[in-house]
Amino acid sequence: MTDERELTLTVNGTERMIEVEPRRLLVHALRENLDLTGTHIGCDTGNCGACTVLVDGEPIKSCLAFAVQADGSEILTVEGMEELPAAAGELHPLQEGFHEEHGLQCGYCTPGMIIAGKALLDENPDPDEDEIREAISGNLCRCTGYQNIVRSIEYAADELESRAA
Amino acid sequence: GHGRGGMGESVSRKEDQRFITGRGNYVDDVKRPGMLHCELVRSPHAHARIEDIDGSRAMALESVVAVLTADDLLEYGLATMPTLMDDTQDVLVNDKVKFQSQEVAAVIAEDRYAAKDGAEKVEVEYDVLDPVVDAAAALEDDAPVIRDDIEGKEDNHCLDWETGDEEATADAFANAPVTVEEEMLYQRLHPAPIETCGAVGDYDPGKDKLTVHMTSQAPHIHRTLFAQVSGIPEHKIRIVSPDVGGGFGNKVPIYPGYVVAAAASYVLEQPVKWVEERSENIQSTGFARDYDMKGEIAATEDGEILAVRTDVLADHGAYNAVAQPSKFPAGFFNIFTGSYDIDTAYGSLTAAYTNSAPGGVAYRCSFRVTEAVYLIERMVKVLADELEMDPAEVRRKNFIQPEQFPYESPTGWNYDSGDYETALDKALEMADYEAYREEQRRRIEADEKKLLGIGISSFTEVVGAGPGKSCDIAGVEMFDSADIRVHPTGKATVRVGVQTQGQGHETTFAQIVAEELGMDVEDITVEHGDTDTDPYGLGTYGSRSTPVAGAATAVASRKVRDKAKSIAANELEAAEDDVTWDRESGEFHVVGAPERSITITEIAAGAYMNKPAGEEPGLEAVNYYDPPEMTYPFGSYVVIVEIDRETGEVDFEKFVAVDDCGNRINPMIIEGQIHGGLAQGIGTAMLEHVTFDDNGNVTGGDFMNYLLPTAMEIPEFETGHTVTPSPHHPIGAKGVGESPTVGSPPAIVNAVVDAMAHAGVSHVEMPMTPDVVWETLKESGLAQQPA
């Protein structure tokens, strides 16, 4: 390939070097260059949020960013959730919440939804239902009707709070 | 349930672990050594002759490996493929494109970016023809003929169909004291699963075997169809449907992309991946609905329904590729007499070809039951308003009564069981119906800014296709299957012929086995989707998994239990007749001596290590279940909306859903199915519409324009249930997955109409976006200007 750039990304705590064309989308770099296939692609217009990851703590839709833009960044994908301190070597409370509250069915929106939930709880550890719904309004789910996803995030907020106490 | 994950327990899902950690395995996650990528070149025109296709500039790109056109596929007989409805669909087109985004050529390249570069460089010369994207216009005499590839075809007429007794129905209407009529369009929708369709074709020349990973709801029937079309023998084709990111009927048909990926892999002897983008998914894969219906009811002055009549104009797109049992060209639309005891009914339908993508049956429709239920539940509301009766009362007056089941409908359905009034009463009570009726009157009298509307739908579904004598897909009878193997240590592997797309089969099918064999649900693994290892089945759609494969799982479990009984007797040193199985404890014990008991774990060891004389070693069974009848779940939904008279915005005040799917395997999973289906019903009623302009351009063909509901548009649902088991089903269970999407749109529209009925509004077309409602408010004199 012509015109490839060398990038350094810290993904889920591990420094990774990849060579990509400038036009390569971050979502493809994560999925195809780094084999982190938990992050999904559900649309071509930036609406669905299945590709949501945290870049330097901010939730972004990784289909709307070029990989080169993330050079030098710290990225969190769903595969890194279990490594977070709050997971304590097990599932992260958000992952646990989605399982306990049946917040997923086909599982395709789930990774992006969990990351969106993480971004919300980082900002606002005790959100009410309206705040949760608004925070995940950039993430489309076709299976659950959202109600149990709201419960899942509430579960995680409660769990994180009780652990912090 | 026995407390270890059997029937009726809200077991949390076995499949969650991999999905919440990003370890699911969907088609686009599949990676093979040497894998190439396929991008399809699609038509920018809705209707045009192809003069020339030139792939030379694409081939000149370094990473492009091949450019395929219909001419390349002709050699293998794959330029066209048969549909499930006796029609033929182009895989790649070399004569005339018939809808925008139709597949014209394929570029195979080393990576997906290069494939896209290549696709842009394929030059296609078109001679543009007049398109027709409206079914009524398509049937006019001077309409351009779309299907001139069909010999002798000189119009766009696709098919006619009728049901019921035309003469008796006409008599009933001629003599009825009251008749009502309404026209309603069930607009074109798209199931839009968040994962689009895709495939990885992987031909292994060493083994002469073609493996295709694909987003398939019906992998076995797809294997058979691949074999029939390609000539590759069926034992040399393996279809794997891995984790599927939602199906909703979108992943039942075979699409050109699958065929191209498989064919390209066969020709190039390298794996080839094809994954479509969202806009391709909406614009070219199976749509849903598009029934333009006239409904009529004949009744007495006091609301007894005497007859129902309907006439439908159906848009089938450019090919008749409707995914449904072959003898049902309008699916199960003739369930349109609904939950009511009606003496006579008649329905007629004409379908047209148009310059739009094929489809029709998809999106939780249970083979056109969405349309049928919409028709009857809307018409009952129209009748109630005409008679100035409470719509709940009209329903009560006409319900088929519990003692009438099994009930034969005037269009030939044999309803298994039901108790409709109990479900309606429960829903009305949960919704606080009477109080809202009072509040509604108060607001009208006070001329308040926000109108209140109450909508009801009391629907009957028909799911579990189906009895082999009437239901087949491409000739294969619509049975399904389960294969249960208990291992020496008492754990079990269960394989089924259906294919989950998120409905939780890996958990619920294990629960059926756990219940039937007294096992712990954790000790059972359920597998599906691999045609090399799983028993043949017809797949998952039409809410058929529980009715058909669920039945097969119970029957196969009982076969295992029968054999286990003889081993139990041997181990307990008792006569077989003296041994009994206790569902409560999940053990066999000697009659009258419950302490002399044995579990399946001990029995399994005996089957491999100490088998009784005359028995084969091992402990396993298979069942292929041909259902005697369909199952008929039902429900009553009550929706309360508030309409802002200044803006036309509709808010959900209350959303109550009472479902009855007979015996419930996993209440938590059922609730999740209901929530998701109701959200799709709200999308249907309020947001979603695949639209076209006069040139045949798809104007509602991506997520900027085809609007899925987000968490902001979906209210909190209140769910309830009653239990009326299916008498013919081995565990009394009925299907349920599609009920919420079937039942909710008419409840929502009825609510919006109800809010404006006092001003003479009898119907509002879907999707009821604020501008549509605002227009209705204005026309009926209800609109208010901001103060």
A68 interfacial to chain B (CB closer than 8 Å): no
Contacts of A139 in chain B (CB under 8 A): 710-711
Over B439-495, what HEC string results?
Answer: HHHHHHHCCCCEEEEEEEEEEECCECCCCCCCCEECCEECCEEEEEEECCCCCEEEE
Contacts of B20 in chain A (CB under 8 A): 78, 91, 95, 98-99, 104, 107, 110, 114
A12 interfacial to chain B (CB closer than 8 Å): no
CA distance B508 to B551: 12
CA distance B760 to B330: 33
CA distance A4 to chain B (A): 13
Q: What is the pLDDT of residues B458-480, one digit of tens each?
A: 999 999 999 999 999 999 999 99
Name the closest residue on chain A to residue B503, using Cα atoms. Answer: A105
CA distance B259 to B91: 7
The band of B1, judged by pLDDT with boundaries at 50, 70 and 90, is confident
pLDDT of residue B322: 96
Q: What is the mean pLDDT of residues B492-518?
A: 98
Question: Residue B390: is it exposed, middle or buried by C-beta count within 10 angstroms (0-12/13-18/19+)?
Answer: middle
Decide if B770 contacts B583 (C-beta within 8 A): no
Is the predicted pLDDT of residue A1 greater than 70, yes or no?
A: no
Q: What is the pLDDT of residues B252-290, one digit of tens each?
A: 999 999 999 999 999 999 999 999 999 999 999 999 999
Can you name the residues that pair with B99 across neighbouring β-strands? none
Neighbouring C-beta atoms of residue B59, cutoff 10 Å: 15
Contacts of A144 in chain B (CB under 8 A): 672, 675-676, 679
Question: Residue A130: is it exposed, middle or buried by C-beta count within 10 angstroms (0-12/13-18/19+)?
Answer: exposed
Cβ A48–B712 below 8 Å, yes or no? Answer: no
Is the predicted pLDDT of residue A6 greater than 90, yes or no?
A: yes
Is B364 catalytic? The answer is yes
Name the closest residue on chain B to residue A114, using Cα atoms. Answer: B20
Is the predicted pLDDT of residue B189 greater than 80, yes or no?
A: yes
**Type of residue numbered A40:** H
DSSP string, B565-604: HHHHHHHHTS-GGGEEEETTTTEEEETTEEEEEE-HHHHH
The band of A2, judged by pLDDT with boundaries at 50, 70 and 90, is low
Name the closest residue on chain B to residue A109, using Cα atoms. Answer: B194
Name the closest residue on chain A to residue B681, using Cα atoms. Answer: A145
Contacts of A23 in chain B (CB under 8 A): 113
Is B42 catalytic? The answer is no
| Angle between helix A110-123 and helix A93-100 axes, rounded to 10 deg | 120
Among A34, A108, A110, most B C-beta atoms within 10 A, so best to mutate, is: A108
* A102: its two tokens: 């049946």
Residue with tokens 């070219």: B284
Nearest to B272 by CA among B350, B198, B186, B345: B198
Name the closest residue on chain B to residue A91, using Cα atoms. Answer: B21
Cβ B23–A38 below 8 Å, yes or no? Answer: yes
CA distance A122 to chain B (A): 19
CA distance B543 to A47: 29
CA distance B80 to B73: 8
CA distance A149 to chain B (A): 9
A108 interfacial to chain B (CB closer than 8 Å): yes
Cβ B28–A37 below 8 Å, yes or no? Answer: yes
- Catalytically annotated residue among B89, B102, B187, B217: B217
Name the closest residue on chain A to residue B24, using Cα atoms. Answer: A38
| CA dihedral over B369, B527, B501, B736, signed as positive or negative | positive
Q: What is the pLDDT of residues B738-787, one digit of tens each?
A: 999 999 999 999 999 999 999 999 999 999 999 999 999 999 999 999 87
Nearest to B726 by CA among B351, B483, B405: B405
CA distance B542 to B540: 7
Kindly report the backbone phi and psi dihedral angles of residue B671, in degrees, each rounded to the nearest multiple of 5, phi listed first.
-60, -40
Q: What is the pLDDT of residues B313-363, one digit of tens each?
A: 999 999 999 999 999 999 999 999 999 999 999 999 999 999 999 999 999
Is the predicted pLDDT of residue A7 greater than 60, yes or no?
A: yes
Name the closest residue on chain A to residue B706, using Cα atoms. Answer: A47
CA distance B469 to chain A (A): 33
For residue B507, give the 3-state DSSP assignment.
helix
Is the predicted pLDDT of residue A31 greater than 70, yes or no?
A: yes
> What percent of chain B is modeled with pLDDT above 70?
100
Is B89 catalytic? The answer is no
- Catalytically annotated residue among B365, B503, B642, B664: B365
Contacts of A77 in chain B (CB under 8 A): 22
Q: What is the mean pLDDT of residues B486-493?
A: 98
pLDDT of residue A47: 98
Chain-centre distance for alpha carbon B243: 17
Contacts of A110 in chain B (CB under 8 A): 19-20
Is B738 catalytic? The answer is yes
- Catalytically annotated residue among B42, B289, B364, B664: B364
CA distance A11 to chain B (A): 14
Q: What is the pLDDT of residues B77-135, one digit of tens each?
A: 999 999 999 999 999 999 999 999 999 999 999 999 999 999 999 999 999 999 999 99
CA distance B612 to B619: 12
The secondary structure of chain B in percent helix, strand, coil, rounded to multiples of 5, reads 30, 25, 45
Q: What is the pLDDT of residues A131-145, one digit of tens each?
A: 999 999 999 999 999
Chain-centre distance for alpha carbon B312: 21
For residue B64, give the 3-state DSSP assignment.
strand
pLDDT of residue A135: 98
Q: What is the pLDDT of residues B654-696, one digit of tens each?
A: 999 999 999 999 999 999 999 999 999 999 999 999 999 999 9
Can you name the residues that pair with B477 across neighbouring β-strands? B472
Is the predicted pLDDT of residue B527 greater than 60, yes or no?
A: yes
Q: Measured between CB atoms, which of A42, A100, A132 is closest to B194?
A: A42
**Cα-Cα-Cα-Cα dihedral of A89, A94, A100, A103, to 10°?**
-140
Cβ A100–B12 below 8 Å, yes or no? Answer: yes
* B75: its two tokens: 């050699």
Q: What is the mean pLDDT of chain B?
A: 97
| CA dihedral over A90, A93, A99, A103, signed as positive or negative | negative
A111 interfacial to chain B (CB closer than 8 Å): yes
CA distance B504 to chain A (A): 7
Q: What is the pLDDT of residues B567-618, one digit of tens each?
A: 999 999 999 999 999 999 999 999 999 999 999 999 999 999 999 998 999 9
Q: Measured between CB atoms, which of A39, A48, A105 is closest to B672?
A: A105
Give the DSSP H/E element, type plus range, for residue B607.
Answer: helix B600-609
- Catalytically annotated residue among B103, B371, B688, B738: B738
Q: What is the mean pLDDT of residues B509-515?
A: 98
Among A44, A90, A106, most B C-beta atoms within 10 A, so best to mutate, is: A106
CA distance B203 to B186: 42
CA distance B5 to chain A (A): 15
Kindly report the backbone phi and psi dihedral angles of residue B424, in degrees, each rounded to the nearest multiple of 5, phi listed first.
-65, -45
A48 interfacial to chain B (CB closer than 8 Å): yes
**Type of residue numbered B145:** V
CA distance B289 to B278: 20
- pTM of the full structure: 0.98
Using CA atoms, how far residue B192 sits from A43, B686, B748, in Å, is 10, 16, 21
